[in-house]
Chain A
Amino acid sequence: MRINSKFKHGSRLVRLSFPPRTMVHKSLIFVLISAAIGFMVLDKNESATIEKTSVVIADLFSPILDFISRPAASINQVLQGLDNLSQLHKDNSVLRAENERLNDWKMIARDLRAQNKALKTLLGYTGDLPPSQVTARVIGDAAGPFVRTLIINVGTDRGIKKGNAVISGEGLIGRVIAVGKNSARILLITDINSRVPVLVESSRDRAILTGTNAGQPKLLFLPTSADLTEGDRVVTSGHGGVLPAGLPVGTILNAGDGNVLISTFARLDRLEYVRVVVRDKIISPDLN
């Protein structure tokens, strides 16, 4: 640092090449940047304090988020209503055909249920308790290229726990990663941090579904001998004991390609209400 000194009116003044205030300012910026990096490192190491702070802030601001999200939700409902009206005639004929098909399946399902019940009685199998579901409204969709999470307006007050699966009417959308008293954060299956054990329904090939933070999630760790066809359904396998088995996830988009992408059943960008699958304990198929 260059220091210029001179005498003025008999007293010694020291003038720095840049004023002390700028030095303090620069030091402050350095400290703040270091603090930001420090926070990132702490978060990477899954610091409980960071998670707790995040939960408290989401809890505190959930009423405000709920209020702010109402107008967009109302507009969305009107637009969806108009969209439904325009497709009413087409949907009607499609649904009639589907209903006939489903009636056939209903008969088969009844038959299978009776068989299943008889076999369970023979084996003395009790199975898991059926899970209960809690409906929640999406009040925060902190999306963007850096993270894919949602905030919902229910928490421990409704029995939500960390790790609970979250579904929409169509299929799996993610799992609860943090819970407050009246809010919870959901990690979507499209987030780069998401890892969900799945299997291809037809071939029973197991894999891990992971997000990319952009577009469709992909399958990792598929067996080399995996027999995949485009359109094959992918469901949760239940391995690891975090998510229940059999939740529909999506269909295979590009079989045969090295990067197997999945088209999710749930429309993740139009979620207004979701259901949290509340279960005390999930028995992994590994342990059966």
Chain B
Amino acid sequence: MLSNLLNFVENTARQQVPLMTTILLVLMSVPPLYLPHYGGIAINLSLIGLFYWAVDKPELLHPVTTFLVGLFYDFLAGTPAGMFALIFLVARVLLGIYSKRLRGTTFLPLWVGFSLVVFGTSFVGWLACSLWYGEPLDLVSVLFHSILTVALFPFGAALLIWISRKVYRVS
């Protein structure tokens, strides 16, 4: 009886790992880093988590969850409410189509896939935000923001691969 309960708790906890790590990455994206000139191009780390889990464990990152994580980021960061919910959803939909091809590949195709998602979603974000503000945002900042996000992917992915191996090696 007790072992059944423990198994249930353990399995439930395992299933929540993608969501929890993505939320943790949201929280880590918000505190200041005090880096010169970083403000205008600061990245949203949770996109790395979203991409990784959507490829590795898509069944554990439902579109509704993705939407809610994006909305949580919007409320916390002060971006127009719904903007990152939209960006994350677009990313999730794109990844839903290509995740099977990316799963089990080497790191390079994964990185290229992430780059395409980042540039695609950044463009969606730029477009949505420009429409929202009623004037075009600086495209160069968005470009540098995307390049920095892509550059940081190996570090974030290495951590998530390690977590995934630790958590899902039995299942």
Contact = CB atoms under 8 A, between A and B. Distances in A.
Interface of A: 25, 28-29, 32-33, 35-40, 42-44, 50, 53-54, 57-58, 61, 64-65, 68-69, 72-73, 75-76, 138-151, 185, 190, 192-193, 212-215, 268-272
19 contacts: A29-B63, A35-B67, A35-B85, A36-B70, A36-B85, A37-B86, A40-B86, A43-B80, A57-B72, A72-B32, A72-B33, A144-B42, A145-B142, A147-B79, A149-B77, A185-B78, A212-B138, A214-B137, A215-B138
Which 8 residue pairs across A and B have the least CB separation, nearest first? A39-B82, A142-B77, A141-B32, A69-B31, A214-B138, A145-B141, A36-B86, A76-B34
A257 B24 CA distance: 45
Contact of B82 (A29, A36, A192): A36
B82 A38 contact: yes
B2 interface: no
- Say whether chain B's binding surface is mostly helix, strand, loop, or mixed: helix
Contacts of A72: 31-34
Contact of B27 (A42, A65, A150, A270): A65
A190 B141 CA distance: 13
Interface of B: 27-44, 63-64, 67, 70-72, 74-83, 85-86, 89, 93, 125-126, 128-129, 132-133, 135, 137-138, 140-142, 145
B54 to A, nearest CB: 13
A185 B76 CA distance: 10
A39 B27 contact: no
Contacts of B71: 36, 39
A68 B70 contact: no
Given A29-B93, A36-B85, A43-B80, A139 B31 contact: yes
B64 A32 contact: yes
A49 to B, nearest CB: 10
A29 B93 CA distance: 8
Contacts of B43: 144
Contacts of A212: 138
A73 B34 contact: yes
Nearest to A56: B75
Nearest to B126: A145
Nearest to B28: A68
Nearest to A139: B31
A141 to B, nearest CB: 3
Contacts of B125: 146
B128 to A, nearest CB: 7
B78 A271 contact: no
